Structure 1
C-alpha cells in the first residue's frame, strides 16, 4: 500500500491543475500511524480490518482522480462532461424531472389537436436533453455514497419513473461501473436485477452487473457477498449460463456475416426480381423466352431463393446475429454520434427521429418495426433513418407494400418478445454494436474482448451455483470451437471423479492442444468412471492413433466396430488402425467384405489399396489406385500413394509423374518438400526395399 500511496502522490504532483481534496494526506497520515504502532510492537487485533478500509479509501480517491483526469483528457468522458456540466443534478432535480415527464405525457391526452402534436414534441425534446445530460453525468460521476446508491436504486424501481428512462439510466450505470469500478453502482445494478418486476429492466440490470465485472481490482469483499446472494435466486445460474452463451453468439456476428455474404446472399441476389440503381429500385421484366427454353427455370430460381432465405432464418433461430453485417453499415447517421442513443429503447417519439417519423406517417411501417421486427433497438433506429432517406426513390408499388404486415418478412410474436432470452439477446446485440462500431469505443473497456467475455470464469463465481452449469457451458464451447472460452473454463471444472469432466478435458487436449498422450489419460479416466461411454471410447481410440499407439487404437476401434458393425466409418477406422499396426492381412479381410457391401465407395478402395501394397500385392493395388484416380473423389494424397505403388513396381517414370502431380496440388501456403512427405512414410518404404539413398535420388528426379 505504501507504494500505491507514493505512486498516487507522484501523479498528483505531476498534475497540479487537477482539483482534489485532502483525503490523500489523511490516508497517508493514518497509514504511517499504523506503521508506527506496528514498529513499536503493538498487537492490534483490528489491523487487517483497518488496512482493508484504508485500501478502500485509497481506491476511492484514486478512482475519483482517474475520473477527473479522463473528464479533461479522454474525448468520450470530455463529451459526457460537456453535456452535463451546465445542469444541476441534485437528487430533488432528478426525481422531479423524471416524474414530471411521466405526468406531462399522461396529460397530453387532454390536449386538443393539433396543439397536442406540437406540445408532445416539445415535452419529448426537453426531456431528451435532460436524460442525455443525466446519462453523461452518471458516466463521469465520482464514487457514489450510500445515500446516492439508495437514491438511484429508488428511482429505478419507482413506478413513477418511465421504463425507458429507467433502462437508459441502468445502461449509464453499467458503463460507468465497468470502466471505473464503484461498489455502490454495482450494488444498484445487482439490487435492481433482484427487485424489479419489469422484465426488460431486469434483463438490462443483469447484463449491466455482469458486464461491470470487466472492471478492475477486486478490493471490495462485498462484491463476492452480492454475487453469492444473487445466485441463490431460483433459476439465476441457468439465466447467467444462457447469457454467457448469447455473448458468444454476439461475438460470432462477423463470422456469421461472412457465411451469409459468401453462401447465402449471392443466391438471394441472383434470383430476386429487382434492379437496384443509383436512380432508384425497379422491377425486372420477365424474359418470355425463359419459359420456352427452360420451362422450370423460374420455379427452380424461386426454390433456391427460398432455400437460401431459410438457411439464414435457421441461423437466427440457433442464436446467430444475422442482421449485424447489414445494419453495421447504417450507424453513420448523426443519431449515433451520441453514446446514449446506442442504449436507448426504441420509441417513435424520440426527438432525434421525429422528422423521420413525419416522413413515414402515411405508412404503418414504423409501427410494424416497433411491434414485430426481429431487430434490436439500435437496428430499429438505423432502419427507420435509412428508410426515410430512400423512401422517395422507392417505386410506388413497393411503398404500397409497406402497408402490409408482410413488409418485414419474418416477425416476432408478442409472446416471444416477452421471453427473457429474447429481451436479453436484443440488449446484447445493441451493446455489441456499440462496442464494435461506436467511434470512441477504443477509450472504453470492451466486455466482448477475449479477456472479459468469459465472465463465468471470474473468481467471484467460485463455489457458487455456477459450478453446476459449467459442464453444459463447456460442451457448448466445444461445439462452437471456442478455445479461448475453454482455456478460461476448464481450470474451474476439473473433477477427476466426473466422467463428463474427464471427457471434456480429453477432447480439449486432443482437439485444441495437439497433446494425444495427455488426452488419452483423461479419456481413460472417463471410461473408468463410465465404461459404456461410446464417445469417450471413440476419442480415446483417436488419441491412441495420433500418439502412434496403433495396437491400442486397433483394439478400441475393434470394440466400436463390433458394437455397430453397420457403421462404415467404424469399420474404416478399424482397418486404418490395423494397417498402421502393419496387420495388413486382418485389415484386408475386412476390407474385401466392405468392398462387396460398398462397391462404389472410394474411401473403402483407398484403404484397401494401401493394405494391398502392404501385402506386396502390387498389381491389385495398382488397379485400385487407377480406379481412385479416375473417380471424382480423388484426394491429393492419392497421387502420393499411387506413386509409391508405381515405385514399388519399378515404374519409376510413372512414379515421378504422380509425385509431380502430388506436389503441384499441394497448398501454396505450405513449404513442405517432397522429401518431407516421403520421410513421413520412411518406415513403410524401408520395409519394402526403398532405402534412404533411393528417397534422396527420387527427390532429385522430381526437381529435374
Structure 2
C-alpha cells in the first residue's frame, strides 16, 4: 500500500473522529482539532468561518455563564454544530484533493485546471440557447446535425461535472440552480441529468442548499424530474440522517411536502422499490442457475418432474393470505418470472451486466442521462429504423428495460448489420408483428403501474447498474446495501410512520421471507393500531420461522383471542407448543384442529406423537393405527406403532411392526429400536444383527454407545439386566 493511500485513509479517519465529536455535541474539542488542520491548507474562507464559529460559541458560553436568558440559544447552537460539520467536510475534500487517490479527485484536479470560467448561469444559458435554436429531427442525419448533438452533449457533460465536483453551493449557485426549475427552455432530459448530478454531488459531500434544491425539484411538473428528485431525497436522508436534526429548515420543507397526499404515498412506494433492488443478486442467481436452464431444457424435451411432497405442517402460510395454486415445475418457474416482472423486479441485470463496456459508459454523466433516440451515439443505430413498428423501436419505447439497458441494447445492435435486422423483420408476418407489439405492451403495463411508478423503478434500475458495475464503484457509498429503514428516520417519521405505509412495507418483507424485518414492522403496526388477527398471525409466523417459538406462541394466542377457532392459527399454536415440548397444550390444540380436519394425516400423526410423549401409549397407538388405516404414511405409522408397543410392554407387536419398517428404507434408529425389540423378546442373534446394522450406519462407536444408553430405562423396564448391557455392546 503506497504512502498516498495511507495518508488518505488517515484523513478519512480524522474526518470521522471530528464528525463524531460534533454529533456528540462536544463542539470545543472538535474546533480544537479542526483549527490546526484548517491552518495547514491555507484557505482563508474556511479559516474565517471557523474563527466566526469559535467567537460565536465562546460568546454564547460567556452569556450562559452570566445567567443571561436567550430563547435563541438552542437554535444558534444547532447552527454552529451544522456549520462546523460543513467545515469538517470541506476540510476533508481539500486534503484529499492533494492526493488524487481516486477517480473523483483526479477528475476534480483536471476539471479545475480547464474550466475556471464556468458557472451554472452560463451553462443554463447555453442549454436554453440549444433548446430554442435547435429543431432536430431523427431523420436529419447530416454532419451538421451530428455536430449540434455532440455540442449539446458536451454542455451536458460539463453541467454534470460542474455540479458533481462543486461540493458546497453558495447563495449564487442556489439561485442559478433554482432558475433551472423555473425555465421552460431547458429540455426535460437535461433537467433530469441535473437532478442526478445534484444527487451524486450530495453523496460525495453533504450540502444543505443542494438538499433544499432537491426538495424543490420534487414539486416540478415533469414526472421524470420529480421522481428523480424523490430518489435523491431518499438516498441522501438515508446517508445523512444523523445530521438532519441540525437543519430545521430541511425538516420544515419536508413537512410542507407531507401536506401533499401523494408525497408520502410515492416515497413509500419508492422505499419498497429501493428494497426490491436488494433482491437483484438473488434474482440473478436464480435466473442463471434455475430458470434459464429449465427454460432451455423445456424447449427440447417435455419434463415430467414429480412434485416435492412434505408432511411438515409448520411451514405453511395461511391460505387466507393469498390464492396461489400449485402448478408444474416449469409452469411455476414461468409464473415466477412473470410475477417478478409484474412486481417490477430487475430481471435483466445479469443479461446487461456485460454490456456496459461501450465507450458511451466511459463518460460518467452518460450513466444518468435518460434514454434519448437523438443522442449522437444512438441516432447512428436507428438511422434506417424509424418505422414505429420496427422491433428495435418497439423495444426501446417499452418500459421493460431501464434507460441504461436501452443504451446497451442500441450499442449491441450497432454490431448487427442493418440488412440482417431488416431480414429478421421481413420474416415476421403482420400477425406475428402485432402479437409481438401486444406482448411488449403487456410486459410494459405492470399491474397497478402508474407513470411515476414506472419512471422511478427504471431510474432505480439504472442507478443500480451504476453503483454495481461502474469501474469506480468501490469509491461510492453502498447505497443499495445494508439496512434501509427510512420510515424510522426522524426526518421522515411523520411522513412514513403510518399504518397505510407500514403495512405494504411489512408485507413486502414477508413476501421476500425477510422474517426478522417483517416482524419488526408488524410489531410497529400493532403498536400503532392495537392489531388485527391477521397481523398477529403473520407476526407469529415470522417468529416461528426464526425459531423464536415463545414469541410465536404469544402472537398466535393474541390472534386466537381476536379470531377464535381459526384452524390455521390453532394448528400453528399446536406446532409451536409441540416443538417447545409443551405436549399437553399441543395436544389440546391438535384436538381442536381434529374436530375440523377429521381425516388429516398430519394432525392424526401429531396427536399420536403428543400422546406418546405424555406416555399415553394406548391412546397414541390408536391414532397411529388410524393413520395406518388411512394409508398415508405407512413407514411413519409403523415406526410409531412399533415404538409405542415397545414402550408399552407389547413386545411381540413391536417386533411385527419393526419387521415391517425394516422392509422399507430403515434408518439407524429403526435398526437400533428393532434390536431392542428382539432383545426384549430374547432373540439375541437377531438383536445383535440389527445393532450391527445401526453401528455400521452411525459409523461412530462413541455415538452408538451414547444412543444405546439413552434407551437404558426402556430396556430395564422390559427385563434386560443392567449388567448385561456392556456385554451386549462388546458382542458387536
TM-score scaled by length of structure 1: 0.81
Verify the 8 A CA contact 2:120 2:159 in the aligned structure 1.
no
- SS for the counterpart of 2:347 is coil
Q: Please state how far the C-alpha of 1:92 moved relative to its aligned partner.
A: 2.7
Verify the 8 A CA contact 1:613 1:645 in the aligned structure 2.
no
Once residues 641 and 93 of structure 2 are traced to their aligned partners in structure 1, the CA distance between those partners, rounded to angstroms, is 71
Match of 2:485 among 448, 454, 465: 454
User: Residue in 2 aligned with 1:171?
Assistant: 196
RMSD of equivalent CA atoms: 4.1
- SS for the counterpart of 1:459 is coil
**1:471-530 residue CA offsets vs partner (Å, 9 max, x unmatched):** 342233123122563476467445293245554544343322x33223333433443344
User: Residue in 2 aligned with 1:59?
Assistant: 85
Verify the 8 A CA contact 1:609 1:624 in the aligned structure 2.
yes
Q: Please state how far the C-alpha of 1:27 moved relative to its aligned partner.
A: 0.9
1:134 aligned to 2:159? yes
Q: Please state how far the C-alpha of 1:22 moved relative to its aligned partner.
A: 1.5
Residue range with higher mean Cα deviation, 31-40 or 363-372? 363-372
In the TM superposition, what are the counterparts of 1:209-608 in structure 2 within 5 Å? 209-216=233-240, 217-218=243-244, 219-270=246-297, 309=334, 311-357=336-382, 364-372=390-398, 374-389=400-415, 398=424, 404=433, 410-412=439-441, 419-451=451-483, 453-468=484-499, 469-483=501-515, 485-486=517-518, 489=521, 492-493=524-525, 495=527, 497-499=530-532, 502-512=536-546, 514-599=547-632, 607-608=640-641
Residue range with higher mean Cα deviation, 175-184 or 409-418? 409-418
Match of 1:31 among 15, 39, 57: 57
User: Residue in 2 aligned with 1:97?
Assistant: 126
**1:578-601 residue CA offsets vs partner (Å, 9 max, x unmatched):** 333333333332333333334566
Match of 2:217 among 180, 188, 192: 192
The structure-2 alpha-carbon separation of the partners of 1:322 and 1:41, relative to structure 1 and needing over 3 Å to count, comes to same
Once residues 455 and 654 of structure 2 are traced to their aligned partners in structure 1, the CA distance between those partners, rounded to angstroms, is 62
Residue range with higher mean Cα deviation, 581-590 or 130-139? 581-590
In the TM superposition, what are the counterparts of 1:614-653 in structure 2 within 5 Å? 614-617=647-650, 620=653, 638-650=667-679, 651-653=686-688
Residue range with higher mean Cα deviation, 165-174 or 219-228? 219-228
Gaps of 5+ in 2: 1-26, 306-327, 680-685
- SS for the counterpart of 1:447 is coil
Q: Please state how far the C-alpha of 1:51 moved relative to its aligned partner.
A: 0.9
Once residues 688 and 236 of structure 1 are traced to their aligned partners in structure 2, the CA distance between those partners, rounded to angstroms, is 75
Q: Please state how far the C-alpha of 1:673 moved relative to its aligned partner.
A: 5.2
Verify the 8 A CA contact 1:457 1:488 in the aligned structure 2.
no
Once residues 467 and 93 of structure 1 are traced to their aligned partners in structure 2, the CA distance between those partners, rounded to angstroms, is 45
**1:261-312 residue CA offsets vs partner (Å, 9 max, x unmatched):** 2222223334658xxxxxxxxxxxxxxxxxxxxxxx68999x9988865553
Corresponding residue pairs, total: 661
Once residues 689 and 157 of structure 1 are traced to their aligned partners in structure 2, the CA distance between those partners, rounded to angstroms, is 96
Once residues 544 and 332 of structure 2 are traced to their aligned partners in structure 1, the CA distance between those partners, rounded to angstroms, is 36
User: Residue in 2 aligned with 1:285?
Assistant: none
Once residues 257 and 272 of structure 1 are traced to their aligned partners in structure 2, the CA distance between those partners, rounded to angstroms, is 21
The structure-2 alpha-carbon separation of the partners of 1:549 and 1:688, relative to structure 1 and needing over 3 Å to count, comes to farther
In the TM superposition, what are the counterparts of 1:47-86 in structure 2 within 5 Å? 47-72=73-98, 73-81=100-108, 84-85=111-112, 86=114
- SS for the counterpart of 2:414 is helix
Once residues 108 and 418 of structure 1 are traced to their aligned partners in structure 2, the CA distance between those partners, rounded to angstroms, is 30
Residue range with higher mean Cα deviation, 499-508 or 555-564? 499-508
User: Residue in 1 aligned with 2:310?
Assistant: none
Verify the 8 A CA contact 1:359 1:388 in the aligned structure 2.
no
Once residues 693 and 355 of structure 1 are traced to their aligned partners in structure 2, the CA distance between those partners, rounded to angstroms, is 93
1:108 aligned to 2:108? no
The structure-2 alpha-carbon separation of the partners of 1:406 and 1:544, relative to structure 1 and needing over 3 Å to count, comes to same
- SS for the counterpart of 2:415 is helix
User: Residue in 2 aligned with 1:277?
Assistant: none
The structure-2 alpha-carbon separation of the partners of 1:461 and 1:308, relative to structure 1 and needing over 3 Å to count, comes to closer
Q: Please state how far the C-alpha of 1:24 moved relative to its aligned partner.
A: 1.0
Residue range with higher mean Cα deviation, 427-436 or 156-165? 156-165
1:655 aligned to 2:679? no
- SS for the counterpart of 2:440 is coil
User: Residue in 2 aligned with 1:291?
Assistant: none
Once residues 571 and 488 of structure 2 are traced to their aligned partners in structure 1, the CA distance between those partners, rounded to angstroms, is 29
Once residues 691 and 461 of structure 1 are traced to their aligned partners in structure 2, the CA distance between those partners, rounded to angstroms, is 73
Q: Please state how far the C-alpha of 1:690 moved relative to its aligned partner.
A: 8.6
The structure-2 alpha-carbon separation of the partners of 1:309 and 1:471, relative to structure 1 and needing over 3 Å to count, comes to closer
Q: Please state how far the C-alpha of 1:143 moved relative to its aligned partner.
A: 3.1
Gaps of 5+ in 1: 274-296, 667-671
Once residues 729 and 385 of structure 2 are traced to their aligned partners in structure 1, the CA distance between those partners, rounded to angstroms, is 73
1:205 aligned to 2:233? no
Verify the 8 A CA contact 1:527 1:537 in the aligned structure 2.
yes
**1:298-333 residue CA offsets vs partner (Å, 9 max, x unmatched):** 8999x9988865553343224432211221122222
**1:586-626 residue CA offsets vs partner (Å, 9 max, x unmatched):** 33323333333345666555555554554454555565566
**1:643-702 residue CA offsets vs partner (Å, 9 max, x unmatched):** 3233333244443355356547x9xxxxx955677788888788778999999999999x
**1:236-279 residue CA offsets vs partner (Å, 9 max, x unmatched):** 43433333332233211121222222222223334658xxxxxx
TM-score scaled by length of structure 2: 0.78
In the TM superposition, what are the counterparts of 1:138-149 in structure 2 within 5 Å? 138-145=163-170, 148-149=173-174
Q: Please state how far the C-alpha of 1:442 moved relative to its aligned partner.
A: 1.7
The structure-2 alpha-carbon separation of the partners of 1:203 and 1:689, relative to structure 1 and needing over 3 Å to count, comes to farther
The structure-2 alpha-carbon separation of the partners of 1:52 and 1:249, relative to structure 1 and needing over 3 Å to count, comes to closer
User: Residue in 2 aligned with 1:289?
Assistant: none
Verify the 8 A CA contact 2:167 2:202 in the aligned structure 1.
no
Verify the 8 A CA contact 1:149 1:187 in the aligned structure 2.
no
1:160 aligned to 2:210? no
The structure-2 alpha-carbon separation of the partners of 1:426 and 1:678, relative to structure 1 and needing over 3 Å to count, comes to farther
Verify the 8 A CA contact 2:671 2:691 in the aligned structure 1.
no
Match of 1:124 among 145, 149, 157: 149
The structure-2 alpha-carbon separation of the partners of 1:393 and 1:141, relative to structure 1 and needing over 3 Å to count, comes to same
Q: Please state how far the C-alpha of 1:557 moved relative to its aligned partner.
A: 2.1
